[in-house]
Structure 1
């Protein structure tokens, strides 16, 4: 072997060793550790940044978006604010949305955007539910003629891991005061094995002709297992109301 060839071989040998040392040092001291947000399927994950050690469940490609039933309804319960009601449905029987963000957008008669009101909620597998905001007051609310609901960023969870809590309505009675103020009084029970951190009670009021005439809500926090709680939902006077048609809904998250 010529002297020049030996120099080339030895040079390549030392270059390989040096490259190995550099790569090893990078991997040991500088390369980011695998995580659930690195955009790679590693550390035993079932998909990219999901499953395995990651909290986020891997979802199927055919999972459907949360559906909105018609256009949100706007009500004018007082002279100082408006209320809005929307009906949604999770079409997926195997997945619930542990959390999603939503925005109510309000428009005037010329379809100009007046205000956006953000919120957060959840939806169990195959659940049909209402989203409502009561007596909102913002600049220009008097001109609101139309509302739009936008739902974004649902965090899908297997229905086996996100089950509907067993909260049951025990009673509900609607009364009307001499001044016409409506009050829904009732009781519900937590039949589940865990404390419910928050229970939302929504009351829908209907006219004598069966049309939705108003909405109001209340929230009860920290309901232990087996506990029965009373609730009260108030709404200003509504003309031509039929108190016997009032519908009450409970929405709770474990």
Structure 2
């Protein structure tokens, strides 16, 4: 290649380079837009349009739906004024929604729509939270149920851990007039907290939510504490006390011959006694257990009903108790107590439950007999009662009528306060109600306070 050709090639190369540098490259830069998570196209490693892959937004199929833990609750705040609450779990441990539209719909008992309540909230990652909508008027309409629906949810990936929040010293006060819940909120994280929402839920003895309220803290310094208060203008519809522990209880019922002295058809006072015992069973809670044993000359063997939570079966067993007419039926209190003790310490006893026996009789102990010792029936019953006390079984005694040995029944009861004397069977329901209240050692209501930090 001669010198002239080389020079031409050099000039041509310079020209091409200049065109690439000053024409093609600027034009490419001008028209080329690199793929992003907001360009309206599926590109790069995205699994959908602007979602999935390395994008912060998740595709719809990559996120699980929020779980509504129970049906939305309607709470009456005052006359014609109500609030709503949905209790929701986000099963996505690394995804949340910054702005989540929702709709509450309220219906009357006829299924007619009364009101729609629309709003927007946020869904924190991997948390159970409350959606509260409060203090709106329905005037004279009475709500019966509510539904809750989400609008379109746009899920975002997030791995940022929220601050550590501790809620202690929860206390319910003034439940009979204007209920008030107080609590202490502590920020245990190393950063201050802003825009903290706190929703309080009050549960009754059956675990049902009976009231809710909400408050906010605008700022809580790192390591700081704050007292928060939730209030209601009227008492709750039901008491919020719950039993501290379940109860295993055995009803020990006298069916001796004297239990039809006031009437034979139906036998009285036996019929009233059975009705009162059924009433008592209706007062028990779902975690309690009940058993039934009747006695006359001897206690029933097998007993009428062993410990269990099938209260309908227990009530049927009570209703089947009858006075035997084959021979004279005496009063063996000791055997009735012995069978009750055996059942309460059996394998059917729930380890977390307290043990209670309730004896009802209308006479004096006359069996079992021991030659030369007319007081043996009571002495033996006292021995069995002492054994029950050693086994930590609480014994309540009820004397019905005028023919009972009051001092004896008082002595075998766990304490003098556990003995009741009632002249007639008509007062028995009141006695059993008092016993039901005594065996249910109440503790404070279940108070749940749910924190949630609004995104900034």
TM-score range for the pair, normalised by the shorter chain length = 0.7 to 0.9
Residues 52 and 68 of structure 1: is their aligned pair in 2 closer, same or farther, counting only changes over 3 Å? closer
Quick check: 1:68 aligned with 2:65? no
Work out whether residues 101 and 121 of structure 2, in 8 Å CA contact, stay in contact via their aligned partners in 1: yes
Residues 202 and 246 of structure 1: is their aligned pair in 2 closer, same or farther, counting only changes over 3 Å? farther
Work out whether residues 81 and 141 of structure 1, in 8 Å CA contact, stay in contact via their aligned partners in 2: no
Work out whether residues 208 and 240 of structure 1, in 8 Å CA contact, stay in contact via their aligned partners in 2: no
- Kindly report which structure 2 residues correspond to 1:136-147, keeping only aligned pairs within 5 A, or say none: 136-138=136-138, 142-147=141-146
Work out whether residues 104 and 146 of structure 2, in 8 Å CA contact, stay in contact via their aligned partners in 1: yes
Aligned residues: 226
Instruction: Give the equivalent residue in structure 1 for 2:186.
Output: 189
Instruction: State how far apart, in whole Å, the 1-side matches of 2:134 and 2:78 are.
Output: 10
Work out whether residues 129 and 450 of structure 2, in 8 Å CA contact, stay in contact via their aligned partners in 1: no
Residues 234 and 59 of structure 1: is their aligned pair in 2 closer, same or farther, counting only changes over 3 Å? same
Instruction: State how far apart, in whole Å, the 2-side matches of 1:193 and 1:60 are.
Output: 34
Q: Which has the higher contact order (CA 8 A, sep 6+)?
A: 1
Residues 70 and 212 of structure 1: is their aligned pair in 2 closer, same or farther, counting only changes over 3 Å? closer
Aligned-pair distance for 1:84?
A: 1.6
Residues 209 and 61 of structure 1: is their aligned pair in 2 closer, same or farther, counting only changes over 3 Å? closer
Instruction: Give the equivalent residue in structure 1 for 2:214.
Output: 217
Work out whether residues 60 and 155 of structure 2, in 8 Å CA contact, stay in contact via their aligned partners in 1: no
Aligned-pair distance for 1:85?
A: 2.0
Cα RMSD between the aligned structures? Answer: 3.3
Instruction: Give the equivalent residue in structure 2 for 1:109.
Output: 109
Normalising by structure 2, we get a TM-score of 0.43
Quick check: 1:207 aligned with 2:407? no
* Unmatched segments (≥5 aa) in structure 2: 1-22, 242-443
Mark the structure with the bigger radius of gyration.
2
The structure whose residues are more often strand, as a share, is: 1
Deviations 1:99-139 (A, max 9, x none): 4222111122332322221233333333222222232224x
The structure whose residues are more often helix, as a share, is: 2
Deviations 1:202-252 (A, max 9, x none): 222233554322111111112232221111100121244226114132322
Instruction: Give the equivalent residue in structure 2 for 1:167.
Output: 165
Residues 46 and 101 of structure 1: is their aligned pair in 2 closer, same or farther, counting only changes over 3 Å? same
Instruction: Give the equivalent residue in structure 2 for 1:39.
Output: 40
Instruction: State how far apart, in whole Å, the 2-side matches of 1:141 and 1:125 are.
Output: 40
Work out whether residues 58 and 154 of structure 2, in 8 Å CA contact, stay in contact via their aligned partners in 1: no
